[in-house]
Each structure stands twice: as structure tokens, then as C-alpha cells.
């Protein structure tokens, strides 16, 4: 009996680790696809700025789960927000991110991502894809992509040199809402101004 | 007396900054601690000091220097940190790394023309940073609360102690200590410290401007980024005490509410 249990446990472990291995290769390939597409078809391409922005927006909406991230960054205020506020926030948060990132995206011109494997996450169905980018001087910058399982896979966070964009936004927005007289509505309005 | 006079601008800044940038009084809820109020005030003071003094100088410096020159300056000051890496490597039992830091310092200070060129990296002896902050973290010294220092900026007690201890290992400190009674010694220490900070600020101009432009609460953004970057130290203490795999320092539960 003991042997059978050990066997079953052993087998399930083999199956589980195989599933994980598949998963990590899949996640890594997914990020390879995103970064190659971003660098080759957008940054290095010879098209107008308007066309670049349009392509970036498409890439952004296709590969990032903004509904999921938006919900996370509002933290505890997501629960108290009305349906209308939630919808307005996600929409303006999307616009704001496309705007700020398409501006800063050019920093990756001529850069190449090196892939350094994956790291498991404590959150179910999520995995970290580790990459690094060579800088002009000094050690390469560490960029980690948090990928969420599903069909298709989606990016839910980007961690640059140990700093998570999602956590930073969440800390910032919850601090802002706490101080603002009109709470979430003020935040939505402020982001709207910045997205212009 | 001198000390009290020095305190005056800070106290003034403290009271002047308890208003929002648009002039309205800051809304301080009950749970917002006094430390947070002080931090925001000091952050605003530092922000203004940067905007009025350091940033314009850094911009001017950037206009009259090339990237090549700035890289040499960065490299020169980085080289002076190698002795501190070597000592902390030893304190952490990383003898091999310590030897590498000593070799790097010897090679770069001579063949690398006073550290302005990183010759050792070209030979495959790569820089490996270390700090007394990390040493304390390894022995599980608590970090303490986040607080904003005048001029120095975002900090924690452990960060500050580590920073002070490491600066004693800086060869420049010893060179100037020998000549602290000479006018040129004092002048040189001001010039060196000034150049180091101006150079650093010049290299961060775009990054910090970008960060500020994309944030609605700059203080909260900086605080969050500073503390997240320090989470890498937590695993140093854990690896000593626990067996098995340590979770990545940036991992967190995406489903649950943290705060």
C-alpha cells in the first residue's frame, strides 16, 4: 500500500513538474514574441510617429491585462467604487498608460532582451519571466515580466530593477485617494488631464 | 548656536509644506502618522531645493560635458567604492568576491587611470556591489521606518547607518582626513562631493522627469520604489535561517489586498 501511495505521489510530481516546465517555456516564448514585436515592428521601424503610437496601443491592449491590473492598483478602493467609477478608471488608466509608455518606449531603441529563465510565483497560474537589457554603462538592467495563465497569456506586471510597476501604482493611487477630497473621482480626473 | 540656526530653514520648510502644491491645506486623516506628515514636508523641501539648485546645475553640467566625460566621472567615483565592497564581502564570508574587489581596485586605480576606466571588467573581473547595509541585513538587522532626510532624501535607519559606515571605507575620506586643517583639503572635499552628486543627477535627469510626469503623487511613487528596491535585502536574512527556496523578493499575492 505504502509503495502505491509513493508511486502515485511520485507520478503526480512528475506530471506536475512537466506541466510547469511546459508552462515556463510557453511564458518565455510569449515574452520573446512581445519584445521582438515591440522592438522590431515599432521602435526600429521607419514609420510616422502617429503610426508608431497606433501600433504601440494595439500591442499594449493585446498583451497586457489592463482590467486585471486596473483592479489591482485601486486596492481596497476597488471594492467601494461604483460600477461607473470602475469603468471610468479602467478606461482612463488604459489611455494614460498608452500615452506615457509610448513616449518612454524609445529608450529601448537598439536594445536586446536576454532571457534568464523563469521564477515561480506564489499566485496561482502566474509565473515570472526573467530578462535583462544591456545598458550603456554598468551592469545590465533586470526586467521581470509577470505572466498570467489563460488563453491567450497576458502580462499583468513588469518589474524593473526590483520595482514593480503595479505595486508602485497601487501605493501611489491609494495614497492619493486617501488624501483627495473627492477620492476616486479626483484620481480619474487627474489621470485624464495627464493622458491628454 | 550654529546648529540651531541650521535647523531654522528645515523647521520653516516643515510648516510651509503642510499645504498641498495648489495651496489648499493638506487633509491629514487620523491614521496618517506624524512621521508621514514630516516625510511629505521634508520631501517637498528637498524637491524645491533640487528644482532650484541641483537640477539647474546638473543641466548646465550636462550641456558642457559629453557622455564620455560623464562615464569617466561615474567610473572614478564607483572605483572608490571598491574597498567598501571588499570589506563587506569579507564580513559576509564571501572571500572570493572580496579578492575580486581588491584586484579591481588595484587594477583600475593604476592601469585604469585612477579608476576613470574599468580595465578589470574588460579582463572578466566584473564589478559586484556590496554594502554594510547588506551586511546588516544578512545578520537580520531590522530596517526601521521610512523617513526622508534633509538633502540626502529617502532613507531608513539601517540604510543611513550602512551609508555612513561605507563612506569611512572611501579612500577619498582618508586622503582628506589627513589634510582637514588645510584650506585646499576642505575645498577639495566640497568639490569632490559636489561633482559626484551633480554627475549622478545629470545621468538621472530624463528618468526622474519621466517618473514625475507619470505620477499623481510623486512622494508616494518615490517612497514605494525606494522600499521595493530594499526588499531584495529581506532574502539575505532568510537564506541564513531557512532551508529551501526563497521566494523572489518582488513576488506578492496579486489577488489579496495588502493594505
**Overall average pLDDT of the B215-237 stretch:** 90
Q: What is the predicted pLDDT for the residue at A98?
A: 86
User: Contacts of residue A156 in chain B, CB cutoff 8 Å?
Assistant: 254
A123 contacts chain B (CB < 8 A): yes
User: Contacts of residue A180 in chain B, CB cutoff 8 Å?
Assistant: 27
- Concatenating the DSSP letter of every residue in A37-93 gives IIIIIIISS---HHHHHHHHHHHHHHHB-HHHHHHHHTTTHHHHS-HHHHHHHHHHH
Give the model's confidence band at B3: pLDDT under 50 very low, under 70 low, under 90 confident, else very high. Answer: very low
**Overall average pLDDT of the B80-99 stretch:** 93
Give the model's confidence band at B100: pLDDT under 50 very low, under 70 low, under 90 confident, else very high. Answer: very high
Residue with cell 493622458: A195
pLDDT for B222 beyond 60: yes
Contacts (Cβ under 8 Å, ≥6 apart) of A100: A194, B210, B213, B214
Give the model's confidence band at B86: pLDDT under 50 very low, under 70 low, under 90 confident, else very high. Answer: very high
CA A1 from chain centre, in angstroms, equals 47
Q: What is the predicted pLDDT for the residue at A151?
A: 78
Structural domains in chain B (count): 1
Domain annotation covers residue B34? no
- Higher pLDDT residue, B145 or A41? B145
Give the model's confidence band at A8: pLDDT under 50 very low, under 70 low, under 90 confident, else very high. Answer: low
Chain B residues within 8 angstroms (CB to CB) of chain A = 26-27, 29, 32, 67, 71, 74-75, 126-127, 210, 213-217, 219-221, 223-225, 228-229, 231-232, 247-255, 257-259
Distance CA A19, CA A26 (A): 11
**Overall average pLDDT of the B120-142 stretch:** 91
Give the model's confidence band at B18: pLDDT under 50 very low, under 70 low, under 90 confident, else very high. Answer: very low
CB atoms within 10 A of CB A36: 12
Taken in order of first residue, the domains within chain A and their CATH numbers are 2-195 (3.10.450.710)
**Overall average pLDDT of the B64-87 stretch:** 92
Domain annotation covers residue B36? no
Residue with cell 525606494: B226
- Of the residues A171, A177, A189, the best mutation for testing chain B's interface (the one with the most B CB atoms within 10 Å of its CB) is A171
Q: Is the CB of residue B132 less than 8 Å from the CB of residue B120?
A: no
Beta carbons of B228 and A168 less than 8 Å apart? yes
**pLDDT tens digit string along A172-194?**
999 999 988 998 999 999 999 98
- Higher pLDDT residue, B254 or B201? B201
Parent domain of B199: 2-19+43-245
Domain annotation covers residue B210? yes
Give the minimum alpha-carbon distance from B183 to chain A in angstroms, rounded to a whole number.
35
Model-level ipTM above the cut of 0.90: no
A164 contacts chain B (CB < 8 A): yes
**Overall average pLDDT of the B167-184 stretch:** 82
Amino acid at each position: 500500500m505504502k509503495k502505491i501511495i509513493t508511486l502515485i505521489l511520485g507520478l503526480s510530481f512528475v506530471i506536475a513538474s512537466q506541466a510547469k516546465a511546459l508552462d515556463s517555456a510557453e511564458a518565455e516564448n510569449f515574452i520573446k514574441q512581445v519584445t521582438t514585436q515591440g522592438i522590431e515592428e515599432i521602435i526600429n521601424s521607419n514609420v510616422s510617429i502617429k503610426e508608431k503610437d497606433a501600433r504601440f496601443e494595439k500591442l499594449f491592449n493585446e498583451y497586457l491585462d489592463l482590467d486585471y491590473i486596473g483592479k489591482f492598483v485601486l486596492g481596497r478602493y476597488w471594492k467601494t467604487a461604483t460600477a461607473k467609477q470602475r469603468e471610468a478608471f479602467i478606461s482612463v488608466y488604459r489611455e494614460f498608460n498608452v500615452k506615457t509608455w509610448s513616449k518612454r518606449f524609445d529608450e529601448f531603441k537598439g536594445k536586446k532582451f536576454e532571457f534568464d529563465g523563469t521564477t515561480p510565483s506564489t499566485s496561482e497560474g502566474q509565473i515570472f519571466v526573467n530578462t535583462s537589457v544591456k545598458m550603456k554603462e554598468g551592469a545590465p538592467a533586470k526586467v521581470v515580466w509577470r505572466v498570467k495563465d489563460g488563453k491567450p497569456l497576458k502580462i499583468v506586471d513588469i518589474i524593473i530593477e526590483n520595482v514593480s510597476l503595479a505595486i508602485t501604482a497601487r501605493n501611489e493611487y491609494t495614497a492619493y485617494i486617501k488624501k483627495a477630497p473627492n477620492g476616486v473621482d479626483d484620481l480619474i480626473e487627474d489621470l485624464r488631464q495627464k493622458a491628454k | 548656536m550654529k546648529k540651531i540656526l541650521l535647523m531654522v530653514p528645515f523647521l520653516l520648510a516643515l510648516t510651509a509644506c503642510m499645504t498641498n502644491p495648489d495651496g489648499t491645506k493638506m487633509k491629514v486623516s487620523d491614521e496618517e502618522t506624524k512621521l508621514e506628515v514630516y516625510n511629505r514636508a521634508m520631501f517637498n523641501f528637498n524637491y524645491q531645493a533640487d528644482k532650484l539648485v541641483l537640477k539647474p546645475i546638473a543641466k548646465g553640467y550636462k550641456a558642457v560635458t559629453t557622455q564620455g566625460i560623464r562615464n569617466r566621472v561615474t567610473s572614478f567615483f564607483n572605483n572608490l567604492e571598491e574597498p567598501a565592497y571588499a570589506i563587506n564581502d569579507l564580513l559576509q564570508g564571501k572571500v572570493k568576491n572580496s579578492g575580486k574587489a581588491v584586484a579591481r581596485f588595484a587594477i583600475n586605480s593604476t592601469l585604469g587611470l585612477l579608476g576613470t576606466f574599468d580595465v578589470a571588467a574588460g579582463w572578466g573581473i566584473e564589478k559586484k556591489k556590496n554594502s554594510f547595509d547588506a551586511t546588516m541585513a544578512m545578520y537580520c538587522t531590522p530596517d526601521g521606518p521610512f523617513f526622508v532626510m534633509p538633502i540626502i532624501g529617502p532613507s531608513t535607519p539601517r540604510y543611513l547607518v550602512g551609508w555612513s559606515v561605507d563612506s569611512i571605507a572611501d579612500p577619498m575620506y582618508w586622503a582628506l582626513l589627513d589634510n582637514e586643517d588645510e584650506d585646499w583639503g576642505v575645498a577639495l572635499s566640497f568639490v569632490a562631493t559636489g561633482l559626484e552628486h551633480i554627475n549622478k543627477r545629470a545621468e538621472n535627469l530624463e528618468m526622474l522627469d519621466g517618473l514625475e510626469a507619470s505620477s499623481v503623487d510623486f512622494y508616494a511613487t518615490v517612497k514605494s520604489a525606494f522600499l521595493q528596491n530594499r526588499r531584495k535585502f529581506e532574502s539575505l536574512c532568510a537564506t541564513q535561517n531557512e532551508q529551501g527556496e526563497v521566494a523572489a523578493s518582488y513576488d506578492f499575492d496579486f489577488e489579496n489586498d495588502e493594505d
